[in-house]
Amino acid sequence: MSSTTPTPGPKLLDERSLSGILIHFLAIPTSVVGAGLLYLLATDEFTKRNARNALDWHLTVLLITAITFGSLFTYAELTGQGIADVSVLPSSVSTAASVGISALFTLWFATTLWTFAVGLIAMVKAIFGTAWRYPFSLALVERFESHINLPGGWPLVILGYVVLSPLLIWAVFFASTNDIVSILSAFGLIGLILVLTPLAGVAMYLHSKGDWLQGDAQKPYVVVHVGVPILVAAIGYAASSRFTQSISPQGDAMYVFLAAFWISTIVYLIRWRMRPSK
């Protein structure tokens, strides 16, 4: 009695990275930040193409968002509903502008809903090996990537973080209590936490990988620069919860992390500059 080897079923995940599949789902809540960071970190073509498609779409949505709310702010200022409280638009122009603002908000709301649909479709397509391009997305990454040349490379990004981080924290605690300043400083703090800090971490990783650290030395080095601030933040959270009457130990821990990570980036730059010459 002869036995036959069963035919293996389809191996859908062969040569398909998990990150290249999940990026479409993860980019729905994280938008440009998540898609952009994975695009920078991608090491295989499949992940990079999927991350680029997701990034193109979320950049398109970001552009629509900026135009929509920028137009709303401008309309409010020119019709006496903003900070200036001075109306300079004739009533006929104001009426036409209000219709345009309504149309922009309809478009923005539709693209927001469309993001959920196309993100899930793209994830399913990626499972079957297709890097699906989102309909109606602008090819912004492909168009402008080759024209972007950072003179100082990743160290300049890290240095920018070192300079901007304390300025933004100062603005939150010590800037004017004027409404517009408070709003801008709050958005600056959000940008620091959600954009600049992750970008600085990725910059340290990519710079150490491609420049002065190679092989076995690279991974533990970056783990220390990112892991130590996380550990310090955990200690700060425990101390705040145990020894203080803070109403927000989580917020205290976040500020402790930002301070520790800022010091970590400075140490990174110093060690890089003091590296032995090759």
Query: pLDDT, tens digit, for every residue of 94-123?
Result: 888 889 999 999 999 999 999 999 999 999
The mean pLDDT of the chain is: 84
Percentage of the chain exceeding pLDDT 70: 83
Give residue 1's pLDDT band: very low, low, confident or very high (50, 70, 90): very low
Residue 51 near residue 35, CB atoms below 8 Å: yes
Whole-angstrom distance, CA of residue 224 vs CA of residue 125: 37
Q: Percent helix, strand and coil across the chain, each rounded to 5?
A: 75, 0, 25
**Cα–Cα distance for residue pair 249/238, rounded to 1 Å:** 8
Share of the chain above pLDDT 90, in %: 45
Longest dimension (CA), the chain: 94
Query: What number is the average pLDDT over the span 224-250?
Result: 90
pLDDT tens digit string along 125-141?
999 888 999 999 999 88
DSSP state of 83: S
The model's pLDDT over 2-56, given as tens digits with 9 standing for 90+, comes to 444 444 444 555 567 888 899 999 999 999 999 999 998 888 889 999 999 999 9
Sketch the domain layout of the chain as residue ranges: 12-143, 150-278
Q: How does pLDDT run across 140-149, given as a tens digit for each residue? A: 888 887 666 6
Q: What is the dihedral of CA 144, 149, 155, 156, to 10 degrees?
A: -90
Question: Residue 172 pLDDT more than 70?
Answer: yes
CB 25 within 8 A of CB 123: yes
- The residues near 112 (Cβ < 8 Å, ≥ 6 apart) are 61
CA distance 221 to 271: 11
